[in-house]
Amino acid sequence: PLTATVNSQDCLEIGGCDVQGLIEEFGSPLYILDEVTVRTACRQYRDAFARYYSGDTLVLYASKAWNCLAICAIAASEGLGVDVVSGGELYTALEAGVPADKLYFHGNNKSIAELQLAIESHCTIVVDNQLELETLADLAQKTSPDTQVRIMIRITPGIECHTHDYIRTGHLDSKFGFDPHTLDNVFAFISQNPILDCIGLHAHIGSQIFESQPHKDLGAVLVDYLQKAAQFNLSIQELNVGGGLGIRYTEDDDPPTIDAWVKGVCEAVVNACNQQQLPLPRLLSEPGRSIIGPACVTAYTIGSRKEIPQTRTYLAVDGGMSDNPRPITYQSVYRPVVANRMSAPITETVTIAGKHCESGDILLKDAQLPETQPGDLLVIMGTGAYNYSMASNYNRVPRPAAVLVKDGTAELIVQRETYQDLIRFDHLPKRLVSQD
């Protein structure tokens, strides 16, 4: 999927730009995002839904995976909507020009200010719980009594899937969504509050999922709830099956293709609707990782080396848990290459360490690499999802720049933080400033 090649200098090129040149121009570490790969994934989702579903469809890019102006704009230009989960993500998507009717606002504890921004921007609000439902009805009545607010209801579907515990969301004790047993009350409340225009039902069961069955089951479960809503005279036309399709971080990972995943979901929804004699709803999904994950690599510069005889060799790079917190958080595994020695034979097993003051700041255990020198470029593949978006300034390390590459040109989409940026919100109380 990644438009990567190796040039005559034995250096990795992404989107026609050689990684060495990019580091010289933009500094290290660097997120390198391949535009063609992002656009291809957007189109694969869009086209597969059109192919396998005769009703209307919409794919939302789950921007929590990586939210910034350029990526929201790319998703929108491919005809995708955008899923946001905070006022900040919503603001960014609006600034990027994503149309309000394609913006969906999630979250299990939206603040009043966030709800207000959502009402004013006319996006669709995915309501998570009873307090939010009541608060929203109240707020909308007070601040824009003449305009209905489009909402969806998020349901906890009770579907189990095999992924890391922190990122499973569909099981019944999840913090997200309405307990399905309370739906009668929810639908009754909505039908008594015409300021709320309930257009659909939503569920999300987790992330980095390799099985196809859970999402098929989810499609069928959501159709059941659609039937229930009809009993309350609510004309709900949209079903959103969430995101969650896994990607291939290493050779051992074997997720379904986008096409196969979409086919499974569409068939399940069509079958369930046929069985219940319901018209086909508009079908939505909101993938994040599978759109942005494979499209990015992080390039680091190799620095110090520590050899512990008979134990292990550490190779340290100039980034780590601040630009990629996934290994320390989820024990995630990635594929490394040495970008300026692409065809050098693999000769050693090393542990790639980050530069942070924390023993657990290890990017990769037991990586198979060629011999390297300080100054060589280590590239970690598949870092587009939940790296930049979860990055921090731990140890006051400035966050890296991100460049978008295509046809041999690179453009900055996020600039590198400076030391001045790091202290921009610091305040030094007068009494702490020395007087002498």
Alpha-helix runs per DSSP H in 177-277: 183-192, 213-230, 258-276
CB of 389 to ligand LLP, least distance (A): 8
- Residue 268 is classified by DSSP as H
Is the Cβ of residue 15 or residue 244 nearer to ligand LLP in the bound state? 244
Task: Give residues 175-204 in contact with ligand LLP (rule: CB under 6 A).
Answer: 204
Give min distance, CB of 209 to ligand LLP, in A: 7
- Residue choice 208, 298, 301, 322 for contact with ligand LLP (CB under 6 A): 208
Told to check if 289 binds ligand LLP by CB under 6 A, we report yes
As measured in angstroms, the least distance from the Cβ of 130 to ligand LLP is: 18
Mapping DSSP to helix (H, G, I), strand (E, B) and coil, where does residue 71 land? helix
Task: Specify the residue, 163 or 340, whose C-beta has the smaller distance to ligand LLP.
Answer: 163
DSSP-derived letter for residue 371 is -
Residue with tokens 């993938």: 287
Q: Is 343 exposed, middle or buried, given 0-12, 13-18 or 19+ CB atoms closer than 10 A?
A: exposed
84 CB neighbour count, 10 Å cutoff: 30
Residue 55's CB is within 10 A of a number of other CB atoms, namely 16
DSSP state of 86: S
Residues in the chain: 436
- SS3 call for 82: strand
Q: How many of the chain's residues bind ligand LLP (CB under 6 A)?
A: 23
In the complex, what is the shortest distance from the CB of residue 198 to ligand LLP, in angstroms, rounded to a whole number? 18
In the bound state with ligand LLP, the residue whose beta carbon lies nearer, of 26 and 66, is 66
CB of 429 to ligand LLP, least distance (A): 36
Query: Can you tell me the distance from the alpha carbon of 272 to that of 198, in angstroms, rounded to the nearest whole number?
Result: 21
Question: Which of the ranges 74-82, 127-135, 237-245, 375-383 carries the binding residues for ligand LLP, by CB under 6 A?
Answer: 237-245
If one asks whether residue 215 binds ligand LLP (CB under 6 A), the answer comes out as no
Least distance to ligand LLP, CB of residue 242, Å: 5
Nearest distance in Å: CB 293, ligand LLP: 8
Tell me phi and psi for residue 51, to 5 degrees.
-70, -40
| Contact positions with ligand LLP (CB under 6 A) in 68-97 | 83
**62 is an interface residue for ligand LLP by CB under 6 A:** yes
Residue 162 DSSP code: -
- Indicate which single residue of 263, 326, 341, 406 sits in contact with ligand LLP (rule: CB under 6 A): 326
**8-state DSSP, 431:** G
Q: Is 386 known to sit in a ligand binding site?
A: yes
Pairing outcome for strands 238-240 and 282-285: parallel
Distance CA 413, CA 422 (A): 19
Tell me the C-alpha distance between 422 and 202, whole Å: 39
Report if residue 286 touches ligand LLP, rule: CB under 6 A: yes
Q: Please pick, from the candidates 45, 105, 178, 386, the single residue that binds ligand LLP as defined by CB under 6 A.
A: 386
Binding mask 138-177 for ligand LLP (x = CB under 6 A): -----------------------------x-x--------
Of positions 44, 156, 207, 298, contacts ligand LLP by CB under 6 A:
207
In the bound state with ligand LLP, the residue whose beta carbon lies nearer, of 290 and 372, is 290
Q: One of 17, 68, 198, 357 is an active-site residue; which one?
A: 357
CA–CA gap between residue 395 and residue 357 (Å, rounded): 7
> Using DSSP, how many helices (H) and how many strands (E) does the chain show?
12, 20
Is 72 one of the annotated active-site residues of the chain? no
> 246: burial class by Cβ within 10 Å (0-12, 13-18, 19+)?
buried
Q: Is position 287 an interface residue for ligand LLP (rule: CB under 6 A)?
A: yes
**Contact, 228 vs 191, CB < 8 A?**
no
What is the binding site for ligand LLP (CB under 6 A)? 62, 64-65, 83, 106, 167, 169, 204, 207-208, 242-245, 286-290, 326, 330, 385-386
Q: What residues are designated binding site?
A: 244, 286-289, 326, 330, 358, 386
What is the set of active-site residues? 357
Q: What residues are designated binding site for pyridoxal 5'-phosphate?
A: 244, 286-289, 386
Q: What residues are designated binding site for substrate?
A: 289, 326, 330, 358, 386
